[in-house]
A and B are shown apart, each in its own frame.
Chain A
């Protein structure tokens, strides 16, 4: 085959391990092909089990996206499966439904109407549930799904038109092109085709601008918001995506079983589905398939063995699943897939990153940088009180285009509080912050980002497992616009290439070109701070807020950083720096504002500030000897 031959030539030229024979993509294609060829010859029972695994894997894949990638979770996916199932079962069998549609839909098309109804209902419910919890901390959504998983189960069992506890029988088979898919062998093909398509789409989604935003959800929403990502919206969309996958699985389930009752949509099943995702590997799409296969096969086995072993019948497999979960969570927190991948890694060559096109044919959004000397950021009489504690008292300051303004002060002077207020993390108790001429009260960080504010964090906030270039590309989030659907269908490649090219350009500029492909967590702390600067620059900011950028840098790195900041100033950026390194600040800053106990005690050029008696006193009383030396 063509794939194999290219694989071999590539392996001889580039394989580092020597024995790496295939790329993951080739392996996947080969396995899918093997499954397709064997499908017709597998025994009836195996086909039926495989179909069930496919159905579960479809739901578990949604949970992988939620749990492992997005840092949320749901215990109630079984209820969404139930919505998909009941919607199609009701449309296909109910005389009321038939009367409503007035015969406009031919019987062969009824299942498709059912699919549509299921998706619409699931979409509406998932959106509502997500919207209610989106502003709250992450654990409210899963708690909410437990309550809703139970509620929907009781509803299914108590609604007369859904057949109560008996459910609905006589669901017709799916008919495709006049051919009824009545057997598991026929419908199983559709199930696996849908599953593989869904996995492909989600794989593409994760490998895109929106995918980076989704991953950023887990790395702390504060960081994502500062990059301009609307985290609440992404969370809801992700939840809806997982729910829709569950509904599609339910639709297929109804036409596979040909009847529905409430039992398979109980909360227990919802929990089992989550177990599949976690045991398989909640951060990996293929982990969903692995987990679904493991749990489904284990369940078959346990339901045979346990009752005779324990001497009574009942839902005992849940004990084993629970213990298995506890074991996996304590020993293999990322599930079993990474372990499997590591073992297989001896033969599988990592997918070679595609060479970046030299001239991307899509332009990222460009910002018109303001004229030098224009006021960019203005704080007027800003105060912040936490109960009785006044952290910031009546602070006023401005940042102009083309200057470096340093904010210094002893520990506890209120620098971080002030920083939070000029970056949209917190609101002042009184006073006003204006950015690019706009009042910013009650605006979230992402609006600050949209108006051209880029920032770094005192405690580095990077996605440690992702490469430096991916982290930096997240900074350019707002400069591109392709959405989820385009990403899933790979219609975003030109824009993606432009984003990557921009990210690489900023990394080169910050002097980390050699590390573009390495995971961010493997860099030194100082280098990680520089990655944060590159990430901020990728957003093409006009205002740059740097929180202790020189901390952890070595002497030469500091000098390089000074040069870079000097260049940026020359380009017309306004830079606000919070820094403890006095030598660094005094040599670099145009103006300095000194805070003590939340109040501005001095403002001026480095020379003026160094001569100011109040500043000397503040620092002499403190523990910072460097300033003293500099002041002499």
Chain B
């Protein structure tokens, strides 16, 4: 009896250890599933306020009101010459555009040398360069929208009148109308040629509006109300509503939207970090860099990201540093076939059978030793 008692006591001592092991297994497996999504950008921590999407791994960014080329692979930031108080940047391969808050527009080469193009009237609101072999640039101010070939002067396409209150401009998008404008009177599309076209039934947008187009043509728009709507095949649908932060906090501000691949998109917020929709807005997931404040100021994509199997980077700018997510590193579910699938299946069945057998044997041993019956 003494031996039985001590054995039971030993087992009792082991029970908390087993429970702790179980909790550790569950906890570590959960944590592992969430790590490795974002990495800090190489180089010293850099504070950026804006960054432009580009088809290469080097792009234009703004740091301390000054524009420069940011190399996402090395972390180098080469300042552009003779620019200050930069409001917007746009990049296309090795060249780009810089729009200062005064309305001064510059072209910039890969060496960082700038050349003044013109002064745009009004308060700058956006700048973009289209994709394709013959890139077209567009700029938006509160006086109107301007368009022209990259490297040449931009011409007024539409004054502020049809736009009412222009808010933001996005590009590049893949369709024949490479620019999308969010305004208080709805969404407008602008082609490389021709006039602005208002998208029918588009939602009226408030402050801090952001707009992006996905590879399949879906347009996502959102504003400070936290409502994100999608446009696909001639129909607008409200797809996602950001909720209040909690307590007395309001709805977190929407800081940016970027499309990744055919129907995935990242949304940046001040409060909820980044959110990801992998299916055009149907389902949403947390996909935040490890930012303490949960604030992501800007998002950009680098490299080829519009293919069916996107390769490239998503770049997230937090108030203290820059994070990178490599699209090629996205975890994909393994595809088992043939012998591998059979081995996996039988292995799992074996684990199940062995675990059951072991548990039954141990319980039998315990019952046999103690001859105690819990139930009749």
A, B from the same assembly:
no
Interface residues of A (CB under 8 A from B): none
